[in-house]
Structures are given as C-alpha cells and as structure tokens.
A = this chain, B = another copy of it.
Amino acid sequence: MSYSRHQLIALLRKHGIAPTHQRLEIANVLFSRCEHLAADQILTLVNERHAETSKATVYNTLNLFRDCGLIREVIVDPKRVFYDPNTQPHHHLYNVDTGEITDIPADDLTVSGMPELPPGMVTEGVDIVVRIRAL
C-alpha cells in the first residue's frame, strides 16, 4: 500500500495536480498507511522530521485532493473531518467510544429501496456509518 516518489508524482499528475514538495509529503502520509486521518494528524506526521509544511498548506492540499477526487472526506465525528485515501465505494464502522474508523467493503453491504430523487437531482454518493460501542 506504499507508493514510490515516482508513483505519487504520477498519481498527482493524473489528477491534474502540480506535484510540489509539500503535496508529495502529504500524499505520502495519506497513501502510505490505510488509516483515516484528520488534518491535524496529517500536519503532525508531515512535520515529524523537519517542520516544512504549514497548517494552511495542509488544509489547502486536503481540499484540493478532495476536489480532484484523490481522497474522500469521512464525516462521522462532529469535531473533525477525516480523510480517506480509498475513493472506491465502501462504508464505515465507527467506534463511538474510541473514535476508531474501520472500512466495510462496498460489496458486503447492499442497500435496496433508494427513494426517487426530486427531478434534476443526482446522487453524489451514499455513505453508511455503522456506529458501534463496547457492550
């Protein structure tokens, strides 16, 4: 699940994003681990060795990646947005005690009976969050 520098550059280019140093660092953090990270965690990870990326750039970059379809937002915690490097359709298990987020493959879960949308509307996505907690 880790990417070489070349692969990351190609990935950004494919999405029309100029591969700057900071963007590569952020992309590396996102794609080198299969976790759901919040902006502040990414900021910390990216600056672990040498502080070289600002808060503003992390937010700019995450929004850019999201707009370009490189990553996806996961909205389960009212306190912060998590970013998911997996843009394939899938869903989430959310541990309300610990805040831990786990993937549920899309093919495991099927939804039937989707309501008809108002005319002129299209579905952008279906997010399913299964909230769990310790007994």
Complex CA gap A133/B123 in Å reads 7
A129 touches which of B120, B121, B127 (Cβ 8 Å): B127
B124 touches A133 (CB 8 A): yes
Provide the main secondary structure of the chain A interface.
strand
Q: A115-B93, A127-B131, A128-B127 are in contact. Are A75 and B73 (CB under 8 A)?
A: no
Q: Is A125 an interface residue (CB 8 A)?
A: yes
List chain B residues, Cβ under 8 A from A121. Answer: 95, 132-135
Contacts of A109 in B (CB 8 A): 111-115
Query: Does A45 touch B at the CB level, under 8 Å?
Result: no
- Whether A133 contacts B122 by the Cβ 8 Å rule is yes
In the assembled complex, A104 has its CB within 8 A of some CB on chain B: yes
The distance in angstroms between the C-alpha atoms of A120 and B98, with both chains bound, is 14
